[in-house]
């Protein structure tokens, strides 16, 4: 009975897995012997063989390649316009003719681009830097006062389509006419001139109305280069004929110019000579207060009547002084224009 109990205990231990030993449960009939069987560690190890994941040194390298602007331009295929056909009108100008450079045939542009024109002039082979007028295009006209007998004037026109200048057109004329009086030994240099008017008048009153304008006036051509008067034309300015229609005027007269006398070295050059008798009339008036077209207000203004426009407008400030019932006026009218002319 004791041996049976021992065997049952041993089986129970193996069944639940408590232990690593192999147990011999054979019954020899006398005793149960444990043989001492052991589980032996054979020395088997998991060995690091030295195998490594190695960085081979492979890298992404910037080779220095760049996108370079080679300067290549995508061409639009633009073609510059051709030269226009031009002429100067009149073709045989005199000394009193303006020179108008006229486009007879427009420039052609193969792309159909709009064409503009740049005008310039030469006088006797020298680039002209003086005053020009605008008839159709900017700078297309030379005023007759800038010309002289024997001058050669060349008009130069450059067309452009806004992207390229086209072929240049040129035309030349020679000024004809009579002798201008310029000395053959004189200089061919040019000088800058302006002009102005000086005037003084006494306007007589009968105590009720202004009845008479008595004065003198002079037209002056002034050489700006030499700071001297080239020519002065002085004349009488008188009237007993009043004018109506000037709502701003204190008084207004139809003034007659007469008996002019010219003095100065340049009078012949400019074609000014003595004149006997009446040679011109002009509507002059005076306004104590005057408002211009831009709304500006002025005091003591010389008024001028324009027959072309049939209107009155202020042209200059005047100095006014009272002499009893009479009025004394003094005035100067400065031209806004300048022009070149031969020296004398």
* Number of structural domains in the chain: 2
Partners of 239 in the beta sheet? 213
What DSSP line would sit under 81-144, residue for residue? PPPPEEEEESSS--TT--EEEEEEEPPP-TT----EEEEEEEETTEE--S--B-SSSTT-EE-G
Q: Using one digit for the tens of pLDDT, what is the confidence trace for 193-230?
A: 888 999 999 999 999 999 999 999 999 988 887 788 88
- Whether residue 87 is predicted with pLDDT greater than 50 in this model: the reply is yes
The Cα 125–Cα 128 span in angstroms is 9
Q: Which of 36-40, 112-116, 163-167, 333-337 has the lowest mean pLDDT?
A: 36-40
Instruction: Evaluate whether residue 302 is within a structural domain.
Output: yes
**pLDDT at position 76, please?**
59
> What burial letters (b/e) apply to 279-311, b meaning 16+ CB within 10 Å?
eebbbbbbbeebeeeeeeeeebbbbbbeeeeee
Per cent of the chain over pLDDT 90 is: 45
Does 222 lie in the same domain as 138? no
For all residues of the chain together, what is the average pLDDT? 77
Instruction: Evaluate whether residue 202 is within a structural domain.
Output: yes
Q: What is the mean pLDDT of residues 37-58?
A: 45
Among the three residues 174, 207, 240, which one is the final residue of a domain in this structure? 174
**pLDDT at position 154, please?**
94
Instruction: Evaluate whether residue 50 is within a structural domain.
Output: no
**Which one, of 173, 9, 193, 23, lies nearest residue 89 by Cα?**
173
Does 207 lie in the same domain as 313? yes
Range of 110's domain?
85-174
CATH of the domain at 138: 2.60.40
Task: Report CA-CA distances (Å) from 17 to 24, 27, 35, 110.
Answer: 15, 22, 20, 107
Does 206 lie in the same domain as 162? no
Give the count of beta carbons closer than 10 Å to the beta carbon of residue 264: 20
Q: Is 81 exposed, middle or buried (0-12, 13-18, 19+ CB in 10 A)?
A: buried
**pLDDT at position 342, please?**
53
Q: Using one digit for the tens of pLDDT, what is the confidence trace for 122-135?
A: 999 999 988 888 88
Q: Using one digit for the tens of pLDDT, what is the confidence trace for 245-297?
A: 999 999 999 999 999 999 988 888 788 899 999 988 999 999 999 998 889 99
Does 168 lie in the same domain as 227? no
Q: Give the gyration radius of the chain's Cα atoms.
A: 56
Helix (H, G, I), strand (E, B) or coil at 181: coil
To the question of pTM greater than 0.85 for the whole model, the response is: no
Does 243 lie in the same domain as 168? no
**pLDDT at position 268, please?**
82
- Whether residue 20 is predicted with pLDDT greater than 80 in this model: the reply is no
Does 248 lie in the same domain as 168? no
The set of residues, in sequence order, having a beta carbon less than 8 Å from that of 90 and lying 6+ positions away, is 97
Q: What is the DSSP letter of 164?
A: S
- Whether residue 68 is predicted with pLDDT greater than 60 in this model: the reply is no
- Whether residue 187 is predicted with pLDDT greater than 80 in this model: the reply is no
Give the count of beta carbons closer than 10 Å to the beta carbon of residue 10: 14
Does 228 lie in the same domain as 327? yes
- Whether residue 318 is predicted with pLDDT greater than 90 in this model: the reply is yes
Does 321 lie in the same domain as 199? yes
Q: Which residue bears the tokens 């002429």?
A: 87
Task: Report CA-CA distances (Å) from 316 to 28, 199, 269, 304, 339.
Answer: 159, 11, 28, 9, 21
Partners of 333 in the beta sheet? 197
Does 210 lie in the same domain as 135? no
Does 242 lie in the same domain as 169? no
Q: What is the mean pLDDT of residues 337-344?
A: 59
Per cent of the chain over pLDDT 70 is: 71
Instruction: Evaluate whether residue 203 is within a structural domain.
Output: yes
Does 156 lie in the same domain as 129? yes
- Whether residue 26 is predicted with pLDDT greater than 50 in this model: the reply is no
**pLDDT at position 219, please?**
93
């Amino acid at each position: 009975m004791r041996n049976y109990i021992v065997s049952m205990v041993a089986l129970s231990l193996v069944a639940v897995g408590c232990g690593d030993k192999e147990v011999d449960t054979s019954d020899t009939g006398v005793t149960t012997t444990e043989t001492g069987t052991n589980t032996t560690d054979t020395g088997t190890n998991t060995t690091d063989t030295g195998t490594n994941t190695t960085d081979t040194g492979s890298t992404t390298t910037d080779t220095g390649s760049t996108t370079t602007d080679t300067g290549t331009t995508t061409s639009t295929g633009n073609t510059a316009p051709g030269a226009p056909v031009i002429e100067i009108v009149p073709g045989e100008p005199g000394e009193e003719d303006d020179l108008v450079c006229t486009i007879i045939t427009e420039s052609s542009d193969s792309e159909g681009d709009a064409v503009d024109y740049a005008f310039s002039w030469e006088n006797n082979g020298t680039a002209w830097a003086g005053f020009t007028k605008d008839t159709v295009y900017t700078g297309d006209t030379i005023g007759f006062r800038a010309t002289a007998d024997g001058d050669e004037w060349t008009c130069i026109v450059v067309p452009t389509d806004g992207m390229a200048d086209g072929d240049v057109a040129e035309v030349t004329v020679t000024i004809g006419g009579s002798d201008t009086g310029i000395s053959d030994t004189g200089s061919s240099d040019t000088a800058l001139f302006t002009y102005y008017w000086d005037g003084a008048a006494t306007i007589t009153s009968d105590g009720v109305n202004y009845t008479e304008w008595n004065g003198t006036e002079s037209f002056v051509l002034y050489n700006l280069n030499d700071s001297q008067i080239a020519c002065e034309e002085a004349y009488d300015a008188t009237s007993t004929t009043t004018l109506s229609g000037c709502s701003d005027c204190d008084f207004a007269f139809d003034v007659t110019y007469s008996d002019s006398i010219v003095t100065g070295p340049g009078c012949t050059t400019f074609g000014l000579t003595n004149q006997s008798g009446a040679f011109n009339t002009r509507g002059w008036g005076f306004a104590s207060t005057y408002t211009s077209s831009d709304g500006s207000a002025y005091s003591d203004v010389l008024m001028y009547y324009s027959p072309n426009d049939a209107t009155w407008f202020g042209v200059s400030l005047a100095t006014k002084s009272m002499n009893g019932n009479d009025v004394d006026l003094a005035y100067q009218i400065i031209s806004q224009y300048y022009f070149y002319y031969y020296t004398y």
